[in-house]
Structure 1
Amino acid sequence: MMQSRIKPLDAILATAEKHALPRSLGPVQLMLLGIGAIIGTGIFVLTAAAAQKAGPGMIWSFVIAGGVCAVAALCYSELASMVPVSGSAYTYSYAVVGELLAWMVGWALILEYAVAAAAVCVGWSGYFMGLIESSTGLALPAALSAGPAWSLSGVDFSHGLINLPAIGVALAVTALLVVGTKESATFNAVLVAIKIAALTLFIALTVPAMESGNFMPFAPNGWFGPEGTSGLGIVGAAASIFFAYVGFDAVSTAAEETRDPQRNVPIGLIGSLVICTLFYLLVTMGAIGTIGAQPTSLGVQPGSAQFARECAALAAQGAEPLVCSDEALAHVLRAINYGWAGNLVGIAANLALPSVILMMLYGQTRIFFVMARDGLLPEKLATIHPRWKTPHIVTIITGVCVAIAAALLPVGQLADISNSGTLFAFFMVAVAVMILRRRDPHRKRPFRTPAVWVVAPLAAAGCVALFVNLPFEAMLVLPVWGTIGLAVYFLYGHRHSHVGRGLIEVHEQDEDAPQPPIVEH
């Protein structure tokens, strides 16, 4: 039976025992780890898209997304502390709900990481081109600095043809990963400090300049968007903003290195989420309060052909609202005559975002690597380069696919597609926690999800609620991608699976596995 194909949890734990790490992290260290991992990509690149969806009401969007993340994080932490090995939600699912669903989770994680990397590439491109134009007056033609606008009704190439800077950064980071890199912890700490300093500067300059009139009307698209639309309104923006919180798993997976995990893990998780949410709210209020955040017109999706035409018309008149900006935070500062600060924020984004792309690409190749080692994908994909000691084949394949997506899709649509995979994976983690509590209630749990029969259903329901409020096109991607995944599984993975063939050795942490660059989201 398919469901009997469960990777033995005892074998996984036996492997983890061989690589046990000292428990040295306290709540403050966990909180700092979480803040460094969470703050970054989303707030720099998605503020404009969220403003188009919800207007000033996107303030509530951050609160909703942060709440769903909090309950999902508590579920994630229990499994991370029980199964402290590589593979993330894929490995957890394999040990709890079996091979087929684990395959689907792993397949969704591939979608999450690769598309998220493409989204960050597009976000970096906007800040890079904005910084170049502000500093030198030079600019690439629109056709070469932005991809086309997409919708179910067709593709509009009038806004752009291909995003060359996004291709460049995607391929550069891929080359770096192929050759191999281990950034120093000090360098990582500097990048985290740069991100936080940039947001602090933004808050300090914009909050005092807020005007109450810019917050009205507060929710122009309502809570769920105009009738007949999908992915708009405050809840639709929350489904997109969820992208800004991904990274909290850095705290969850550190459970095995934490002193008194039952106490310190929730402090680290909830503390980092609360601090990040406060940062996000202050940044959002500063952006809205200074120049406003009204949609170009109601019921129009960011990234759509109509949206691109409206923004182009406004640009021709010399007016670029927040919702149309490719570098939202720098744009706000320049609009209120702090050009120097806008350039500093642009420099911060240019420095910090490539490290995010690197981690996203690494995460994707690591999932590929573990799935190939389990026999579910061709083991050739897990081949380690003899000189560079990296999985070069799968890294190159991933990098090329990311570059193509970044070249042709806008950042908001990429983030929504990535979120569809993330939400499915987190939903499965919440389900797995409940199943394992019933099936194996006495197994050692270094961290136990508090009020699990309330928290886990809330996490699952929250993930479903955000998923159904994504734009229809983004929702459609997951079943289409999943169908492709099922075809791959039954044509290849089902027959070659190590567990299916009775090979239960677990070796995710063998010394030949690719090692991660030490950088944060």
Structure 2
Amino acid sequence: MIFGRVKPLDAILATAEKKSLHRSLGALQLTLLGVGAIIGTGIFVLTAEAAQKAGPGMMISFVIAGAVCAVAALCYSELASMVPVSGSAYTYTYAVMGELLAWMVGWALILEYAVAASAVSVGWSGYFVGQLGGWFGITLPQEIIAGPYAGGIINLPAVVIALLITGLLVVGTSESAKVNAVLVAIKVTALTAFIILSLPVMQMENFEPFMPQGWGDGSGAGVIGAAASIFFAYVGFDAVSTAAEETKNPQRNVPIGLIGSLAICTVFYMLVAAGAIGSPIGSQPVTGADGSWLAPGSTELAQRCAAISAAAAEPLSCSKEALAHVLRQIGYLNVGNLIGLAAFLALPSVILVMIYGQTRMFFVMARDGLLPEKLSTIHPKWKTPHVITIITGLGVTFAAAFLPVGKLADIANAGTLFAFFMVAIAVMRLRKTEPTRRRPFRAPLLFVVAPLTMIGCVVLYWFLPPDAKLVLPGWGAIGLVLYFAYGFRKSHLGRGLVDVPEHTAYEEVDPPVPGTR
């Protein structure tokens, strides 16, 4: 029976110990890993898209998206502290609901991480082009800085950064974490400067009308539609749980990394959003000549932005350097350029964490036999899964070369929301089926928190743009074909190749009697 293939937690832990990654990350590095993944795209790139969808109402959008992530983080923390191995939601689902659903979750997470990395690569490209123009007056041809969606041929800067980050991850996790720490410091400094300069000059009249598109109508517009997109900016926290197997003292450090990074980032998001909305250019959506709403990333919006910018200041919804643009309009031209430089330097940390997360997902799925085991090969010198890192990097590069950032973000969210939904089910079921198992971190009010996570995921998925919603079932269908063509036959669990130890340190067992074994 397919649904009968449930891999015991003890077997998962034993497999991880038999073929494990090097534990080198502490609580601080995990928190920085989470901050590096979370702060970046939502503020530096997707702020303009949120303004186009919700106007000043994006303040509520940040609250909604953050609230869904907060309850999901509690579910993740409990499971990650119980099962400190690579694989995140995939591993948890395998242990609770069986191999088929675990495969579908892992397949959805692959979509999340790969597409997210591609989206941030495209966002970084916009800042790179802006820096060349702002500091050196260099204008690159449209053909090499945008995909076909925007009248170009290939987004060459996005290709370059994706390949560079891939190379860094091949060299090693420890080295990557050190670089990430530096980039996070740059990012936080830039956002702090933005807050200090923008909040004192806020124009409160720019907050009206507060919700020009209402709550949402299923087209992607409105406060909830913006929350569904902004959700992309928060979800980096789950990359922390994928690093559990490379973490020292994971029972303590993983929950700290998850909840700590989410709390820090939420504060920054709210303050920065307020500063952007209150700036002289405001945050009202750009409409067509007939007053109709224009979707972010559409050709119609690009044409309308060009027409408006030719005669007046560029609206926030049109900017590819949202925060730098705001400071320039306030009067801080040089500081605005420096904010753009900070984003240019810091956004690669988000790409790094996203590619890192996907490679670890592939690694653990291959280790379980659901993908070719060659993919889980560890480099003898660098101790990293170099084969799958290279394959992942090439896939990310291809998507970044030709697709727009907004579409990529919404597609990534679809996979993420599905995975979070399954985690909420898994943590509730484990409370019932294995109540005595040691839980270094217990989610408070779990049977309130987990259902809230599930409801929040369903609502945000429903308010994604229609094309983004359709990607997940299509991607899932491809995954099912691959599973039954390969994984179902080659699965270690299906073939009885399961490591089960005599006892495990992760269970609450009676201490041994002195003098016995």
| Deviation of 1:36 (Å) | 5.1
Q: 1:169 to 1:96 in 2, by over 3 A?
A: same
Q: Deviations over 1:263-307 (max 9, x none)?
A: x98787556434422211111111111121111114321012222
Conserved? CA contact 1:21–1:257, under 8 Å: no
Q: 1:310 to 1:148 in 2, by over 3 A?
A: farther
Contact 1:220 1:294 in 2 (8 A): yes
Paired with 2:184 and 2:168, the residues of 1 have a C-alpha distance of 20
Match of 1:329 among 307, 323, 326: 323
Secondary structure in 2 matching 1:100: helix
Pairing partner for 2:354 from 347, 355, 360: 360
Map 1:418-429; keep pairs closer than 5 Å.
418-429=412-423
Instruction: Show the counterpart of 2:182.
Output: 190
Aligned residue identity for 1:230: S
Task: Give yes or no for the alignment of 1:137 onto 2:137.
Answer: yes
- CA 1:326–1:380: 2 relative to 1, 3 Å: same
Code of the residue aligned with 1:138 in structure 2: it is I
- Helix, strand or coil: the match of 1:232? coil
Q: For 1:395 and 1:13, locate their aligned partners in 2 and report how far apart those are by CA, in whole Å.
A: 23
When normalised by structure 2's length, the TM-score is 0.88
How many residues were matched structurally?
Answer: 493
Alpha-carbon contact 1:8-1:504 (below 8 Å) kept: no
Give the Å deviation of 1:241: 0.7
Q: Distance in 2 between matches of 1:136 and 1:113?
A: 34
Q: Is the CA contact 1:117–1:360 (under 8 Å) kept in the aligned structure 2?
A: yes
Counting aligned pairs with the same residue, the percent is: 69
Over 3 Å counting, the alpha-carbon distance change for 1:505 and 1:105 in structure 2 is same
TM-score, with length taken from structure 1? 0.87
Deviations 1:144-174 (A, max 9, x none): 212233xxxxxxx54x332111111112222
Structure 1: distance between partners of 2:108 and 2:126: 27
RMSD: 2.9
Higher mean alpha-carbon deviation, 391-400 vs 469-478, is at 391-400
**Closer, same or farther: CA 181–270 of 1 in aligned 2, 3 Å:** closer
Check the 8 A contact 2:29/2:181 in 1, yes or no: no
Query: Deviations along 1:93-114, whole A, 9 cap, x unmatched?
Result: 1111110000001101110110
Q: Name 1:510's counterpart in structure 2.
A: none
SS in 2 for 1:326: coil
Aligned equivalent of 1:205:
197
| 2:287 is the alignment partner of 1:293 | no
Counterpart CA distance in 2 for 1:12 and 1:49 is 41
Q: Using the alignment, how far apart are the partners of 1:135 and 1:288 within structure 2?
A: 26
Instruction: Give the Cα separation in 2 of the matches to 1:367 and 1:267.
Output: 21
**Which of 261, 272, 283 in structure 2 is aligned with 1:283?**
272
Q: What does residue 516 of structure 1 align with?
A: none
Q: 2:507 is matched with which residue?
A: none
Structure 1 residue 437 corresponds to structure 2 residue 431: yes
Runs of 4 or more, structure 1, over 6 Å off, are: 16-22, 28-33, 253-256, 264-268
CA distance in 2 between partners of 1:118 and 1:476 (Å):
19
Alpha-carbon distance in 1 for matches of 2:73, 2:441 = 12
What's the CA shift for 1:394? 2.5
Segment drifting more, 483-492 vs 164-173: 164-173
Structure 2 CA distance for aligned equivalents of residues 386 and 33 of structure 1 = 25
Do the aligned partners of 1:198 and 1:348 also contact (CA within 8 Å) in 2? yes
Structure-1 residue corresponding to 2:461: 467
State the Cα deviation string for residues 112-168 of structure 1 (Å, max 9, x = none): 11001001101111111111100011111223212233xxxxxxx54x332111111
| Aligned counterpart for 1:476 among listed residues 467, 470, 475 | 470
Residue 240 of structure 1 pairs with residue 229 of structure 2 = yes
Using the alignment, how far apart are the partners of 2:427 and 2:5 within structure 1? 18
Tell me if structure 2 keeps the 8 A contact 1:265–1:447. Answer: no
Residues 348-380 of structure 1 deviation map (CA, whole Å, 9 limit, x = unaligned): 112211122122112212211211121111223
The match for 1:146 is 146
Report the counterpart of residue 12 of structure 2 in structure 1: 12
Q: Which residue type is aligned with residue 286 of structure 2? A: T
